[in-house]
Structure 1
Amino acid sequence: MSPRVLREIAETLSPFLQRRVTFYREPLQPDLIVAFALYRWASGETYESRTCNFGIGRKSGLVAVRDVTSALLSAYRDKISCPTGLQKAVVLRAFVEKGFPNCHGCIDCTHIFIDKPANCPGEDYYDRKRRFSVQAQVVVDPNLRVLDVFAGYSGRCHDVRIVHLSSLWARAEAGEIFTGPPVMLSFGVRTNDYLLGDNGYPPSEWVVDPYGGVSQHPSEIRFDKKQKTARGAVERAFDRLKGMWRLFLRSYKTNMETLPQQFVAVCILHNILIDAGIPFDDNLLWEVGPDGVRRRVDLGMHRPLRQMCMESSTGDALILQDALAERMGTHDDDNLDDEGKDLRKGDNGGGDDGRKDVLAEENVVEDDYKEDASSEDNYVGDGRGDDGDDGGNVEQKGSMATMATKARMQATKATRVAQMTSTKSRTSATGGGDFVR
């Protein structure tokens, strides 16, 4: 963090940190209080180890962190929010280039490791990795900015239960979010807005998962690779967030009542530093263990043991997944020439020049969506012959391919819905703890 950014944060929080002068002593200055709290979060050290450098006692340090947390939540109330205007257009464009039109972000959970809680049942926080932890659900955009955060539930909870208990789920199911202008995909499939998640989340109309499994169709393999690449933004966001604010990287003794608020405050600081253009040193993600071996730090991202399903996982959610996979195949074929080279790249092998342009209006993105949908609905082949017969053959082949793909999507939908129904029955009969209704 640069001195300039630190001064700006201290000046913004100063009105919330003013103290009255008493007969006992002079109050701590706001800039000192802010500096101590940021140092505590960035270093991860205990209150006893370095408080002497600030001239602050342990109890004063506890109060300082609490007050700075409250000040950040009040002063930067809108720092964690969904993008609007030009920023939203840039986010949508970034996901379009990755093959996911109308995608607004990526969602995942991370475990915040803690010592065994003293005032809570310890077994409730004992996760499947045999560590005590608290879960935090975060939604990020391609620029690694945090758009939504929900923290505080124990590490034993599955990602499905976390999202079901969050306000994000309530707002999405109530139709308050993910209701943007629709985008038409192949075969008349329409999508409003959605997020990218892993297989730990049940497929829905606003969460798109990878297919997973062993025996996959080539289109499913391609979809999973691109989905994983696009979803990598959330892991990079955790890299930066926990790498900079190392208190949430290792186990530590904490107050369970203030931990969620502190994590949200750190997410606010995370966005402030991104907006200020502060770079991140990737070397912070590596450390030398007791055995002298250099290893990557544990970000607390537990991979799902199995693919999840819920009663809200409708056939429409599965059809959306298939339509996105079909769109990727169509666009990949359109962007290759006869020799298999990418037509979007110039002679020097660089990317499309259009990607370097800065969007001025959000309408530009919406117009591109309409063009994409129109080209997909009318797609019949890559070219036409010089005479009418060749052109007709190409169109006939395109129509046959379209019908075959549509039939495959319908068959896939029926099969997957049947599998999900069977899984629900088995889970309900066995009383599975991960199954959320």
Structure 2
Amino acid sequence: MYRRNYFWENNSSSSSEDEESLQIERREYKMFQRIQLNTWDDVDFLNRFRLSKRTTMMVLEEIKDSLPCDERRSRELRPITQLLIALRYYALGSFQLAIADFSGVCITSVHVVLKRVSRALAELSPRYIQMPQTQNERLKAAKEFFAVAKFPRTIGAIDCTHIRIQSPGGTDAENFRNRKGWFSLNVQTVSAANLKINDIVARWQGSAHDQRIFNMSSLKKRFEDGEFEHFILVGDSGYTNTTFLATPFLNVTNAVENLYNESQIRTRNCVERSYGVWKRRFPVLATGLRCRLDTVQSVIVACAVLHNIAIDQNESQPPPEMYDFANMLAATDVPSDTLLGSASATTHNVRARLVRSYFQPMLDS
């Protein structure tokens, strides 16, 4: 204690600088203290963090054990604060520096928290992101898809969407440049009829084609092994028509093929709509991710988990007029091109069987 007093007495010339730094620290701590649930009402909280307070607290209970906090340290970030920082980043789609200014913490803390929370949320994916497991679940999924446009046996609509990222650098950076000319990850998802994400692959470069991603995925092997029995997926013409994946006819030659296409396209539209809802709720997926590649992958899966939780909890969508830019970018996510085309309509693929046994009798009646 004596040494401390002696030090301050012999450094009076720097007292003004120390006082100024102390005021800055107090001001930063005051900003830090403002990030609390009761700061905003329900509507403002939803607009800023994309989830309601009730759902946020439910998510916190799921991941709080993965968010360490030493209560003995007054400046330690509490689990709820860490979650709100991550949610604000997903909602804002901006530089991490802007999140740091909003939170009253340093940018290094934002980087650490974002990585930690995103990984904790991504680890929930086996529970919240899964294909229908039981026969009853598959029948329910097929009934929901049938109600859309009377397309039978469908348990999922598959497609890919590009998530914008900054250049990862290195010798392989150009592999991430997509056909539209910007850097991205090409993310494959399977959507349910209620727009939930039932399967996600978020590790392929933007230059990878949709069919290649599906060929290398475990989901294709599960279908080939007969896990889903006679149930099928629907996809666009960027995929090859197989026994378990129905694609549209590229050249319609008769009325029954036209009827098939109309039903298939309307059913497949569920996955396109899911991208719009997903990116509108979390604009960072539309405006672009500015972080390390491993964190990018965690953020994408984390947003998919939160998307499904929001649907399960009947969360309302944030006002679209407030996020026109994110909506505009999401709208540019057009269906895949037709580089691969589709397999010929033989008796060995699902499209030919559906036309012959289902759509032709429907048209005849």
TM-score bracket, normalised by the shorter chain, equals 0.7 to 0.9
User: 2:354: which partner in 1?
Assistant: 324
Taking the aligned partners of 1:243 and 1:200, their CA distance within structure 2 comes to 25
Say if 1:141 and 1:233, in contact at 8 Å, map to a contact too.
yes
For residue 128 of structure 1, what is the amino acid of its counterpart?
R
Change (3 A) 1:316 1:68: farther
Equivalence map 1:113-132=2 (5 Å) = 113-119=164-170, 121-132=172-183
User: 2:214: which partner in 1?
Assistant: 163
Equivalence map 1:202-241=2 (5 Å) = 202-213=240-251, 215-241=252-278
Scaled by the length of structure 1, what TM-score is found? 0.66
Say if 1:145 and 1:271, in contact at 8 Å, map to a contact too.
yes
User: 2:192: which partner in 1?
Assistant: 141
Taking the aligned partners of 1:133 and 1:11, their CA distance within structure 2 comes to 32
Count of aligned positions: 312
Equivalence map 1:238-317=2 (5 Å) = 238-281=275-318, 283=320, 287=324, 297-308=330-341, 315-317=346-348
Percent identity between the two aligned chains: 25
Say if 1:197 and 1:207, in contact at 8 Å, map to a contact too.
yes
Residue 17 (structure 1) aligned to one of 31, 56, 67 = 67
| 1:90 counterpart = 2:124 | no
Larger helix share, 1 or 2 = 2
Task: Give the drift of 1:75.
Answer: 4.2
Task: Give the drift of 1:154.
Answer: 1.0
Say if 1:106 and 1:140, in contact at 8 Å, map to a contact too.
yes
Instruction: Provide the secondary structure at the position in 1 that maps to 2:83.
Output: helix
Instruction: Provide the secondary structure at the position in 1 that maps to 2:294.
Output: coil
Task: Give the drift of 1:108.
Answer: 0.1
Say if 1:92 and 1:101, in contact at 8 Å, map to a contact too.
yes
Instruction: Provide the secondary structure at the position in 1 that maps to 2:273.
Output: helix
Taking the aligned partners of 2:321 and 2:291, their CA distance within structure 1 comes to 23
Taking the aligned partners of 1:321 and 1:25, their CA distance within structure 2 comes to 63
Scaled by the length of structure 2, what TM-score is found? 0.78
Say if 2:167 and 2:183, in contact at 8 Å, map to a contact too.
yes
Taking the aligned partners of 2:354 and 2:322, their CA distance within structure 1 comes to 34
| 1:4 counterpart = 2:54 | yes
User: 1:173: which partner in 2?
Assistant: 224
Change (3 A) 1:28 1:317: farther
Say if 2:125 and 2:301, in contact at 8 Å, map to a contact too.
no
Change (3 A) 1:77 1:303: closer
Change (3 A) 1:78 1:316: farther
Change (3 A) 1:317 1:20: farther
Taking the aligned partners of 1:285 and 1:120, their CA distance within structure 2 comes to 39
Instruction: Provide the secondary structure at the position in 2 that maps to 1:239.
Output: helix
Task: Give the drift of 1:33.
Answer: 0.4
Say if 1:239 and 1:285, in contact at 8 Å, map to a contact too.
no
| 1:52 counterpart = 2:85 | no
RMSD over aligned Cα, in angstroms? 2.6
